[in-house]
Amino acid sequence: MNTFRDQFIGTWTLLKKELLRFWRVAFQTVAAPVITGILYLLIFSQVLGDRLEVYEGINYLVFLIPGLIMMSLLQNSFSNSSSSLIQAKIMGNIVFLLLTPLSYLQLFFAFLIAAIVRGMFVGICIYVIAMFYVDLPVEHPWFVFIFAFCGGGLMGAFGMIAGIWATRFDQMAAFGNFVIMPLSMLSGVFYSIHSLPPMWQKISHFNPFFYMIDGFRYGFFGQSDTSPYLSLMIVLSFFIILSFITIRMLKSGYKLRN
């Protein structure tokens, strides 16, 4: 009765709706983070541009761009799935999804892909605008893609966990302000961790955002603070763990079906 075709159409419909949802408010979901990213770029490059050279032969402005792209990508992937779920829960329209034959895996993949698409779209916009200022090399395009995909997916899954768990907007804001923002700002977006004191370097290695940004930056410059393969392994592991937790939450109906 519920054929594979039905399931494909169901998943595609939810994905399409999630994409349209952020596109309808693109000024807030795309334009705002792109402008924020560009402002960071302009300010930091003006203040520090000529004084710093983090990697040999790489201008600070050029160094900064991949980190900013990845930071925006991660924050927006998280925002997409978390805001969609919390809004639907608080408005009550989550019921329209829960009444359907969509399985927990269908829900997971539709929300996850939508989160990755939004994150990547914001990242591409920043990249395109940055191209007007600098010539950005891409040494290993596959590394760029795989870190963007896995990073977006990891944060999309994390956003789903937050969206399912939170019952109020302030709880969701706390996730953004006290978890996502500090972890992304302290992940080496604006600096190489080699410029930090040894203790802070060690602490940085416990921050998963560091590996997402460092691996992504390797894709552009072929240089990184740590091995890109180690970063990829850590990012993939986090992606799998968070996906597993999200799927378990959706399957059990935690805070959704009661």
Q: Tell me which residues touch another protein (CB under 8 A).
A: 1-3, 5-7, 9-10, 12-14, 16-17, 20-21, 24-25, 88, 91-93, 95-103, 253, 257-258
What's the distance, CA 6 to chain centroid?
30
Q: Which is nearer to another protein, 90 or 138 (CB)?
A: 90
Among residues 188, 191, 166, 190, which one has the least CA distance to residue 176?
166
What's the distance, CA 125 to chain centroid?
14
Angle, helices 32-48 vs 104-130, to 10°: value is 40
Minimum distance from residue 22 beta carbon to another protein (Å): 9
Q: Which is nearer to another protein, 36 or 87 (CB)?
A: 87
Minimum distance from residue 24 beta carbon to another protein (Å): 5
Q: Which is nearer to another protein, 96 or 132 (CB)?
A: 96
Minimum distance from residue 11 beta carbon to another protein (Å): 9
Cα 213 from Cα 147, distance rounded (Å) = 8
Minimum distance from residue 249 beta carbon to another protein (Å): 15
Cα 187 from Cα 206, distance rounded (Å) = 10
Q: Which is nearer to another protein, 80 or 224 (CB)?
A: 80
Minimum distance from residue 104 beta carbon to another protein (Å): 10
Q: Which is nearer to another protein, 9 or 174 (CB)?
A: 9
Asked if 231 contacts 224 with a C-beta cutoff of 8 angstroms, the reply is yes
Structure tokens at 219: 């894709």
Among residues 89, 208, 90, which one has the least CA distance to residue 150?
208
